[in-house]
Chain A
Amino acid sequence: MNLPFLTPLETEALVLSLRVSIWAVLASLPLGVGVAWVLARLRFPGKLFVDGLIHLPLVLPPVVTGYLLLVALGRRGVIGGWLHDVLGVSFAFDWKGAAVAAAVVSFPLMVRAVRLSIEGVDRGLEAAARTLGAGPFRVFFTVTLPLILPGIFTGAILAFARSLGEFGATITFVSNIPGQTQTLPLALYNLTQVPGGEAAAFRLCVVSVVVAMAALIASDVVAKRVERRMRG
């Protein structure tokens, strides 16, 4: 792929970054909504612990998260070994691993946003739907889900932005391989480590800013549209 104004290396890093971030968000979204619903609605023993566990990547140094992922999902890791031997799936040292790292690190942001909007849903509307003949699942998909769409959207954008900027967990878990795991921040970091790389690093810096701004503006436009639709 050739993009105007960009060198092949820059294009590669940009496309990889977008692919990793989009997959990280899309793959974790259903789980994020489910977890947010459980935390918002259910009371069960050990809820505080589960809540803490999900929020851990938010407060842990990303390097620690990356290391834990390596231990767990690496080819010789506890889960990773099984995944590789039985299912033939491997996350180590390719873009899928980078997406997993981004998803884990951005997961708490997504859950928080969705949970907040679920807590804001008028449960009276759900009760009304039940009396109209809808079972719990139908109520979720026809009442709850449409009402929390703005929250889901906000959560997805937050997670997407966090994934774009992900550095520490990615480099620890899947290393810094051009074309495989070298996203924009990693490529930029690389350039700052070689003599004479300042100009190229600055170009990547501009690319990062443009992508981030575009994401912010796009989310704002869509959020307003969603809100207008809800308000009528």
Chain B
Amino acid sequence: MIEIDVKKQQGDFTVDAAFSTEATGVTALFGISGAGKTSVINMVAGLSRPDSGRITIKGRTVFDSKKGIDLPPEKRGFGYVFQDGRIFPHRSVRSNLTYGMELVPKHRRSVGFEEVIELLGIGDLLSRRVTNLSAGEKQRVAIGRALLTSPSLLLMDEPLASLDAARKAEVLPFIQRLSHKLSIPILYVSHSLDEVLNLARTLVLLDSGRVVSAGPVEEIANQPRFADFKNGHESGAVLVTVVDHHDADEGLTYLRLDGKRLKVPLYDAAPGTRLRVHINSRDVALALHAPTGTSVQNILPAVVERILEHEGAMVDVRLDMGTPITARITRKARRDLALFPGQQVLVMIKSVAVSRGAIPKSELAADS
């Protein structure tokens, strides 16, 4: 278990965050800029000192204000990947990578050099000067450097935020792979919904220095309050599906969702693989009767649960189709359809985004 309970006054801002999570997979600290995410992760790392609280990782307490325990960062044994990489400019790539590793006694190294080099694809960079690396390469080296200390916990503070979209797409799969292959829990700070849905198993929502809620991604992401965390823009449903079969001729993959089928463009994953999908509420339309002559491929029955009013012309309709889903429609459409809670309707899903391929077996129990 990862148990964190920290309080700290920083000027006018108070961090008072407590949560606990399984010590496997990725736990995402999610919130807008200024929510206190970095403050929390710095306290976990030992780079800043909480006024009071307790930090325990896998039964090992690294900070406890009551017992007077406060291990310095170098004694905590956590890896830290910073937003800005922080590669040492006066060292080569290789000596950056081995800086922390050489401080760990041989018998306590659980992560192999070759393994990390291969996992991150940085073999060709080893003899290069740091100044000749691209931003994406630097971030991969930073991840490798932290991993090679064989940490009991890996902290990542928006490791992709300083990269452009192309570099993000380059680094994200590596983080995904390492969370699957190495049994090192990751505490991942982000304000990007996309990254969180791609990587995380557990979600901790942070607002104004406080934990608003914490739990499995599917549970938290479908709570109405989650919409507030995305500034209302990306509201949608997050669902776990299972690959049923592929239809290569049509270029489609069929996903099983609670006894129902979803069609998505061909996705490379073996039948039986669990995939997390994200359905944006703007891509969901409603119909009272089975429509004819429509291009929409995914049409499923559902029951209206409740209707959330917004400012402006749009309303969010929350529905239950075995799993929760939200449709964002106009106020006028709602009036025309005369929607009410308990009503039987059909949801028409225009597009489904697969946000996380192959949820690892270790997480299956918790997800189902």
Q: Give me the interface of A with B, judged by CB distance under 8 Å.
A: 122, 124-125, 127-135, 138, 142-143, 146-147, 229-232
Contact B103 A128 (CB under 8 A): no
Contact A132 B45 (CB under 8 A): no
Measured between beta carbons, the chain B residues less than 8 angstroms from A229 are 90
Contact B74 A232 (CB under 8 A): no
Sorted from nearest, which 9 A-B pairs have the closest CB atoms?
Answer: A132-B100, A232-B129, A232-B131, A133-B103, A131-B80, A128-B86, A130-B73, A146-B90, A133-B74
Contact A131 B78 (CB under 8 A): yes
Q: Give me the interface of B with A, judged by CB distance under 8 Å.
A: 45-47, 72-74, 76-80, 82, 84, 86, 88-90, 99-100, 103-104, 129-132, 145-146, 149, 155
Q: Which residue of A lies closest to B128 (CB)?
A: A232
**Complex Cα spacing A129 to B79, Å:** 10
Q: Which residue of B lies closest to A134 (CB)?
A: B74
Contact B90 A124 (CB under 8 A): no
Contact B82 A132 (CB under 8 A): no
**Complex Cα spacing A131 to B48, Å:** 12
Contact A132 B131 (CB under 8 A): no
Give the shortest distance, in Å, between B308 (CB) and chain A (any CB).
43
Contact B90 A132 (CB under 8 A): no
Contact B149 A133 (CB under 8 A): yes
Contact B86 A124 (CB under 8 A): yes
**Complex Cα spacing A138 to B145, Å:** 17
Once A130-B72, A131-B80, A132-B149 are accepted as A-B contacts, the answer to whether A125 and B86 lie under 8 Å apart by CB is yes
Contact B100 A133 (CB under 8 A): yes
Secondary structure type dominating chain B contacts: mixed
Partner among B72, B77, B86, B129 whose Cβ is within 8 Å of the Cβ of A135? B72
Q: Which residue of B lies closest to A145 (CB)?
A: B90
Contact A131 B88 (CB under 8 A): no
**Complex Cα spacing A160 to B45, Å:** 43
Contact A127 B47 (CB under 8 A): yes
Give the shortest distance, in Å, between A143 (CB) and chain B (any CB).
6
**Complex Cα spacing A146 to B145, Å:** 19
Measured between beta carbons, the chain B residues less than 8 angstroms from A142 are 99
Give the shortest distance, in Å, between A136 (CB) and chain B (any CB).
8
**Complex Cα spacing A45 to B103, Å:** 36
By CB atoms of chain B within 10 A, which of A128, A129, A135, A143 has the most? A128
Measured between beta carbons, the chain B residues less than 8 angstroms from A132 are 74, 79, 99-100, 103, 145-146, 149
List 6 contacting pairs A-B, 8 Å CB cutoff, sorted by A.
A124-B84, A132-B79, A134-B100, A135-B74, A231-B131, A232-B132
Contact B130 A232 (CB under 8 A): yes
Q: Which residue of B lies closest to A230 (CB)?
A: B90
Contact A128 B82 (CB under 8 A): yes
**Complex Cα spacing A133 to B72, Å:** 9
Q: Which residue of B lies closest to A128 (CB)?
A: B86
**Complex Cα spacing A230 to B129, Å:** 10
Give the shortest distance, in Å, between A138 (CB) and chain B (any CB).
8
Contact A131 B73 (CB under 8 A): yes
**Complex Cα spacing A57 to B245, Å:** 84
**Complex Cα spacing A53 to B226, Å:** 59
Q: Which residue of B lies closest to A143 (CB)?
A: B88
Give the shortest distance, in Å, between B93 (CB) and chain A (any CB).
11
Partner among B74, B76, B89 whose Cβ is within 8 Å of the Cβ of A230? B89
**Complex Cα spacing A151 to B129, Å:** 22
Give the shortest distance, in Å, between A40 (CB) and chain B (any CB).
19
Measured between beta carbons, the chain A residues less than 8 angstroms from B90 are 146-147, 229-230
Measured between beta carbons, the chain A residues less than 8 angstroms from B129 are 232
Contact B86 A133 (CB under 8 A): no
Q: Which residue of B lies closest to A229 (CB)?
A: B90
Q: Which residue of A lies closest to B142 (CB)?
A: A128
Q: Which residue of A lies closest to B45 (CB)?
A: A131
Measured between beta carbons, the chain B residues less than 8 angstroms from A143 are 88
By CB atoms of chain A within 10 A, which of B47, B77, B88, B129 has the most? B88
Measured between beta carbons, the chain B residues less than 8 angstroms from A134 are 74, 99-100, 103
Q: Which residue of B lies closest to A135 (CB)?
A: B74
Once A124-B86, A232-B131 are accepted as A-B contacts, the answer to whether A131 and B79 lie under 8 Å apart by CB is yes
Give the shortest distance, in Å, between A227 (CB) and chain B (any CB).
11
Measured between beta carbons, the chain A residues less than 8 angstroms from B80 are 128, 131
**Complex Cα spacing A131 to B45, Å:** 7
Measured between beta carbons, the chain A residues less than 8 angstroms from B99 are 129, 132, 134, 142
**Complex Cα spacing A142 to B104, Å:** 16
**Complex Cα spacing A230 to B82, Å:** 22
Q: Which residue of A lies closest to B76 (CB)?
A: A131
Give the shortest distance, in Å, between B136 (CB) and chain A (any CB).
18
Measured between beta carbons, the chain B residues less than 8 angstroms from A122 are 86
Q: Which residue of B lies closest to A149 (CB)?
A: B90
Measured between beta carbons, the chain B residues less than 8 angstroms from A135 are 72, 74
Measured between beta carbons, the chain B residues less than 8 angstroms from A127 are 47, 73, 86
**Complex Cα spacing A143 to B80, Å:** 17
Give the shortest distance, in Å, between A67 (CB) and chain B (any CB).
44
**Complex Cα spacing A125 to B131, Å:** 15
Give the shortest distance, in Å, between A145 (CB) and chain B (any CB).
10
By CB atoms of chain B within 10 A, which of A124, A229, A231, A232 has the most? A232
Measured between beta carbons, the chain A residues less than 8 angstroms from B47 are 127, 130-131
Measured between beta carbons, the chain B residues less than 8 angstroms from A138 are 103
